[in-house]
């Protein structure tokens, strides 16, 4: 079996997360549907067994009670990630923030609180149903400085040098072209801008069989990069000050959640 094509991977990702968003929308409309499954992408992390280890209090693994308490329950009901990028983003009042793969909007809403009314947050997602869910959550949260936009990370429909910070929560690993994601991230960041993401990385080389598993691609693992390759691709795109922090037990499965930070050099620097 050959490794999945980029189109196959994107179709699998859209179907997986679109179906989960539709389930949540139906739940909120009081239409009886099957419970959300136990195979949520990226519910892995320092205190979880892996991407299949979702629990009803999953968001509690990465977000404080104070953070979650500022938002309606619906805003965190479908939080599929492997960390809390807003906790490491060093957001400041007035910052312009881009969330790649913004999903139901949780990280956007938390970022909006930190950047304040003088700042702005844009959530970018390619899945129509996730965008519909995010818009519904936005109406409940009432964050005037948040907008959601449809688009792909590999070709962002956004202007150059528009953002101070890029955040993302276990989504870059889903892309079949990480080089394009990092090039586009570099382009839309202002000089001196920051990347602060949580993601899944390999700590060993995955087998060919693992790479060919399309459902596991959509489940965040098989599309992940080796941690050293992740760093090398960021550096190749032009980023500096690249740091990674692994969580969990990487030796158990050969992969781990990670916080990754990098900086676009300031104008005239380096």
Q: Which residues contact 257 (CB under 8 A, 6 or more apart)?
A: 42, 44, 45, 46, 82, 83, 170, 198, 199, 200, 201, 246, 247, 248
CA atoms of 53 and 46, how far apart (whole Å): 12
Point out the least confidently predicted range of 68-72, 79-83, 101-105, 254-258: 79-83
Convert the pLDDT of each residue in 28-60 to its tens digit: 775 443 333 334 445 433 333 333 334 335 677
Pair of tokens at residue 211: 């790479």
Q: What is the pLDDT of residues 211-254, one digit of tens each?
A: 665 455 444 566 789 999 999 999 999 999 999 999 877 767 78
Which residues does 77 contact at the CB level (< 8 Å), separation at least 6? 24, 27, 104
Residue 42 CA to residue 79 CA, distance in Å, equals 10
CA–CA gap between residue 232 and residue 262 (Å, rounded): 12
The string of pLDDT tens digits covering residues 182-211 is 999 999 999 999 999 999 998 888 777 766
pLDDT of res. 76: 77
- 172 with 197: CB under 8 angstroms? yes
Residue 16: per-residue pLDDT:
74
Q: CB of 96 within 8 A of CB of 162?
A: yes
Domains defined along the chain, listed by start: 6-263 (3.40.50.150)
Q: Residue 10: what pLDDT?
A: 72
pLDDT over threshold 60, residue 151: yes
CA-CA distances (angstroms) from residue 238 to 160, 190, 262?
15, 13, 10
Residue 15 predicted with pLDDT over 60: yes
- Report, in this order, helix, strand and coil percent for the chain, each rounded to 5: 35, 20, 40
Cβ burial 31-55 (10 Å sphere, 16+ → b, else e):
eeeeebeeebbbbbbeebebbebbe
- pLDDT top residue among 48 and 79: 79
Does 141 have pLDDT greater than 90? yes
Q: What tokens does 185 get?
A: 């991230």
Q: Is the pTM for the entire model greater than 0.95? A: no
pLDDT on residue 136 = 93
Per-residue pLDDT at 50:
39
Please write the tens of the pLDDT for every residue from 92-116.
999 999 999 999 999 999 999 999 9
What token pair was written down for 21? 């968003």
């Amino acid at each position: 079996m050959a490794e999945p094509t980029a189109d196959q991977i994107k179709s699998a990702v859209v179907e997986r997360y679109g179906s989960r968003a539709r389930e949540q929308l139906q739940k909120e409309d009081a239409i009886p549907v099957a419970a959300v499954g136990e195979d949520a992408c990226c519910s892995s992390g320092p205190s979880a067994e892996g991407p299949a280890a979702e629990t009803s209090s999953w968001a509690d693994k990465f977000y404080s009670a104070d953070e979650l308490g500022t938002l309606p329950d619906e805003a965190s009901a479908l939080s599929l990630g492997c960390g809390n990028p807003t906790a490491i983003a060093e957001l400041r009042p007035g910052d312009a923030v881009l969330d790649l793969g913004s999903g139901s909007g949780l990280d956007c809403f938390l970022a909006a609180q930190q950047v304040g009314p003088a700042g702005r947050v844009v959530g970018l997602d390619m899945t129509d149903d996730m965008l519909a869910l995010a818009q519904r959550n936005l109406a409940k949260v009432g964050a005037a400085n948040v907008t959601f936009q449809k688009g792909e990370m590999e070709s962002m429909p956004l202007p150059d040098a528009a953002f101070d910070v890029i955040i993302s929560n276990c989504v870059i690993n889903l892309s079949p072209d990480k080089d394009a994601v990092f090039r586009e991230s570099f382009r839309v960041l202002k000089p001196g801008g920051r990347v602060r993401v949580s993601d899944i990385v390999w700590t060993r080389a995955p087998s060919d069989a693992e790479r060919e598993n399309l459902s596991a691609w959509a489940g965040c693992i098989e599309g992940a990069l080796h941690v050293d390759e992740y760093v090398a691709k960021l550096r190749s795109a032009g980023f500096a000050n690249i740091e990674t922090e692994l969580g969990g037990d990487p030796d158990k499965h050969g992969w781990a959640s990670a916080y990754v930070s990098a900086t676009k050099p300031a104008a005239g620097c380096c």
